[in-house]
Structures are given as structure tokens and as C-alpha cells.
Amino acid sequence: MKHNILAISLCAALAALPLGAQNVFESTETAQTQQTTESKPRLTLGGYGEAVASRMFYSNNYKRYTDATLYKNAPSFGQVDLPHVVFFVGYDFGHGWTLGSEIEFEHGGTESAIEMEEEEAGEYESEIERGGEVALEQFWLQKSFSEKINIRAGHIIVPVGGTNYGHMPTEFFTVYRPEGENTILPCTWHETGVSLWGRAGKWRYEAMVLAGLDADRFNNKNWIHGGSGSPYEFKMATALAGAARIDNYSVSGLRLSVSGYVGNSANNTLNATGKYQGLHGTVAIGAFDFLYDNHNVVARGNFDYGHLSNSLEITAANKASRKDSPSPKNSVAEAAIAMGVEAGYNAAAHIAALAARGQRLYLFGRYDYYDSMYKTVASMADETMWSRQKVTLGFNYYPIKQIVVKGEWSDRMFKKQYNDEQTISLGIAYYGLFKL
């Protein structure tokens, strides 16, 4: 069944085919190297933010998967959220040197939370996603030699997958970030490292050396998603990793992209020699994504596949961790998968009053299939609740270019022994840069 869904979904994505969003500061970086600093602004301020209200028509009880029949007709519940509120500061020092920084507040506060664990008898556990009260998502210095050659060093976005490359709220239709990639991959994925990037003609490239992921943070629900974070005041970097991305813009309005990542994870945690002795825990990820934006149509899609070596040994080591360890202490799959496609049409083009003001109204649909335990070793149970599909229908209304109002209905679908999860959400978001 998995392979049938995979084939059907991939064919749909390729048939729909979609232009991509670039790094927050990238649109002006290389242009700045060709100008004198006296004739242009040096300081760039900006940011983006999202506010969301949702109604969930399913149970939020921790047993809703293990005892699904008990919660088939559960009452709905509501919640409000500030998924991301982010502030940018950039500065052009001249002579090709630029600075970029980004401070992020997730869910309205710090990056710590109390969660109810489905597999720990409903225990309340304190989860630390990243040490500190706020996340420093970007902080880098860059030397630009030309449009084709730029070197960036510091804390950088890892451009693997479509969502990490285009994570502004104006760069996807759904109220929250696309669920598949946002589940199995770190998102937004940011690491400390060195990047070489540039653009030549219809091609853009980027290659990075960065700190590897931490196997101590992997789990069954989100695969390697938590491995980019650190509960400590530092990030272990005993094992380094590599990431790369290539984008092509040969067809007007269309971007086609491939990206990938490879690196060991077993050595990037405290007490690694005692816990993961002799293991590599190699994470290898391959991804394809696209964006089409032309003729009042915007379509996007992604396909991501990841493999983890030594998954059985990592699972055993994590489950044997001390009770006070930050490890999730559950199974980790050998492979995970995520794919999605969305398409929207600008109906405002046919409404004279809206078109005259430059406003846009996209009516869209999206399909996701993702499984954080897509493939497990023979002796590991396949926890089927983590194989999910999701259908989303909704609208995006842009009263001005920088602001979007979003509304959607979605249905998250599981294997037949579990209850599907329907949600209605309404959100408002902005994204803008201001040069001084």
C-alpha cells in the first residue's frame, strides 16, 4: 500500500510542476558587492510573523492512538498560537562584506514546553527544543566576490527541502508550514558552518559544511527533526556533515531544485563513547522540490527521502538512557519519507475591484503523505500511527504584498484503526524588509 501511495503522489507532483523563494537577504547581497556603499542603504531591518486560531475536531488525549476506539466521537477543542515571530537585522560593511542575523520567537515565547507523552502513560514531560529563551536562527558574515562566488560563515539556514529554502509565511499556502517536511526534517533547519554559494545564468548552487545532527534527539514521531537542536548551551560538533542544493530557472516562472545532506550523528552528543560506542548513525537525505508561479497559478511540491544507519542500535541506546536524559527514549526508523503538492489560482484576477488594487486571492488545495517510520529493521515494530496523509483546502488573501490572511480546512488521515483528525484554521501573517 505504501508503494502505491508513493507512486501516485509522486506522479501527481511531477504533473503539477512549480519558482522558489530565496534566502531572506539574498536578493540584494550580490548586487551590493557591485556598488559603492555611499549610494545605497547599509542597514536592513525586517521580519515575519504569524498568528493562528484553530478548532480541532478530534481528541487531544494522549491515548487517542493506543486506544483509538475510546475517542472516536470526542468533543472538539480550540487553540490559538503564534507559530513564528522573527526579527531580521542585516548590515552592509562595504567591500563585499555583509552581516545577516535573525532572532526567532516560536509559539509566543521560549523554546521549552510541557508535553504529554503518548507512550509514557500520559506523563507530563518538560521538552527542551533548544537551550536559551529565544532561538538565534541566523547569524553570519559573508564575503561576496561576485554574483557567482560568495562565502558565508556562522549560523546558517540549511537549504535541504523546499520548506527550509522558502519558509516565510508568504511562501506556502497552508496556515502552518507544510506538515510532511516540517515533521521529518528540522524546520527551519539552522546550523553553524561555512557555505559557498552563487548564481550563474539560470543556475544557483550552494554547498555547506556544518555540525552534524545529534542521534540522542531522534524519535519515532518526528524521525531526525529534533537532531539539529541542543538542550545544552553549546552544540556538539564531533562529527561534521555536508549539505548541498542546486536550483535551475531555465523555464520562465519555474524553479526545479535538488538538495541533499549526509553526516554521522552517533558522536554528536554528550557521553557518546559510552552510549554509541562504535556506531556511525549516518543520516543521508535526498530531496526534490519545485515552484511554478505564472499565469495566476502558483504550484509547489516536494519529495524527501531519508535513511539512518544503525537505527536499531540507536533505538536501544536511547531507550536505555537515564530517566532524566533529554533523549525521547523511543524507536527510530531506518527510513522516513515526505511528499507534498499544492496548487492555487488567483481568483482576484477576475474581480475588477481587487485586481485594480493589486490584491490577490488564491484558492488552493494541498496533499501530503509522510511517514516518520516508513522503513524499520526486521526486529523493530512498525508503529503505523506515524504513517499519515493530509488533505487541505483553503484560501490566501493578500490585501497588500507583505500581508496575507489565510483560512483552511484540513483532514489528517491515518490507517483505518485510528481516527482521522480534521481541523479548521484561520491565520494572519506578514513578511517584509526595510532598508535604511
What are the pLDDT digits (tens) for 215-259?
999 999 999 999 998 888 888 899 999 999 999 999 999 999 999
Say how many CA atoms lie within 13 Å of 395 toward its Cβ. 9
CB–CB of 138/87 below 8 Å? Answer: no
pLDDT computed for residue 124 by the predictor = 66
Counting beta carbons within 10 angstroms of the beta carbon of residue 4, is it exposed (0 to 12), middle (13 to 18) or buried (19 or more)?
exposed
Residue 248: which of 205, 210, 282, 281 has the closest Cα?
205
Record the cell numbers describing residue 78, joined without a space. Answer: 480550540
Beta bridge partners, 207, equal 196, 244
E strands, 145-296, in order? 150-157, 190-200, 203-211, 240-248, 254-264, 282-294
Q: How many domains does the chain have?
A: 1
Q: Judge contact between 56 and 75, C-beta under 8 A.
A: no
The identity of residue 276, as a single letter, is Y
pLDDT tens-digit readout, 322-373: 888 888 889 999 999 999 999 999 999 999 999 999 999 999 999 999 999 9
- Which among 42, 22, 24 is positioned nearest to 32, based on CA atoms? 42
pLDDT value for 224:
96
Cα-trace Rg, the chain: 22
DSSP string over 253-289: TEEEEEEEEEEE-TTSSTTHHHHSTT---EEEEEEEE
Contacts of 10 (CB under 8 A, 6+ apart): 303, 339
**What pLDDT does residue 1 have?**
46
In the DSSP assignment, the letter for residue 224 is T
DSSP letter at 114 equals E
According to the model, what pLDDT value does residue 21 have? Answer: 40
- Mean of all residue pLDDT scores within the chain: 88
The residues of the chain scoring below 70 in pLDDT are 1-39, 109-122, 124-133
Q: Check: CB of residue 191 under 8 Å from CB of residue 233.
A: no
Write down the pLDDT at residue 369.
Answer: 98
For residue 277, the model assigns a pLDDT of 85
pLDDT at 40: 76
For residue 225, CA distances in Å to 202, 230, 302, 436 come to 32, 12, 17, 37
The residue segments making up the domain with residue 374 are 2-435
Q: Say what the pLDDT of residue 262 is.
A: 98
- CATH code, 199: 2.40.160.10
Give the residue carrying C-alpha cell 480546512.
409
